[in-house]
Amino acid sequence: MNNTATIAATPLNPTLAASGWRGLIADWSSDRQAFHVSWGKAMMWIFLLSDTFIFSCFLTGYMTVRVSTTVPWPNPSEVFALHVAGADVPLLLIAIMTFVLISSSGTMAMAVNFAYRRDRVNAATLMIVTATLGELFVGMQAFEWSKLILHEGVRPWGNPMGAAQFGSTFFMITGFHGLHVSAGVVFLFTVAFKLIRGDYDKKGNYQIVEIAGLYWHFVDLVWVFIFALFYLW
């Protein structure tokens, strides 16, 4: 009789018997047990999902404003043309910016590959190259802004070339994306420095490089949509 009672009181699953803080933590970690995803990677995916909603709202608002405005919208090929050798080349600067940012995705992917091989020197070097390309992108974007503000007279509240909403949507969308690129540059430099110093060797886990890569690839993907909807449309 006593043995039967003891067996009945023994939990089949220790997680089910957990209570208090241990039980709460076990409940919240069920996704890790099911999908085998680390907390760092899971939190990055959640952050990127929330950022996707924000950029989607911005781009949807831009398309709505552009379609509904009664004032002619400026021609992107003329607005973003670059004067070279006495001729205006349409979207030349934007094409270079896009090439630089897309190339940085390749170097970031190579950095993740080396990190999985536990080659911290090459991984850190490629992350520094990626961050440098990101800096170059932000620098060209600053040049683009200065050209529009100082030479074309574009403002967030007005635009001499057509619809006033052009300036507000342009500075909001590209500025928000540029802020993400700048934050990513700082993030990549920080991780690369810690890689070179050997901080992750102590933990035996280089997954932070992959997490940084997720963020950087997301930033590059968002730029593809901005490029297509804002500069080519």
pLDDT of residue 108: 97
Which residue do the tokens 């039967």 mark? 4
pLDDT of residue 16: 44
pLDDT of residue 26: 65
Q: Distances in Å between the alpha carbon of 69 and those of 58, 133, 139?
A: 16, 36, 32
pLDDT in tens, 198-210: 888 776 678 999 9
What is the phi-psi region of residue 21: left when phi exceeds 0, alpha when psi lies from -120 to 50, beta otherwise? alpha
User: Which regions of the chain are under pLDDT 50?
Assistant: 1-17
pLDDT of residue 25: 65
- All structural domains of the chain: 39-231 (1.20.120.80)
Residues 54, 168: contact at Cβ < 8 Å?
no
pLDDT of residue 64: 94
pLDDT of residue 233: 83
**Four-point Cα dihedral 130, 134, 139, 145, nearest 10:** 160
d(CA 95, CA 226): 12
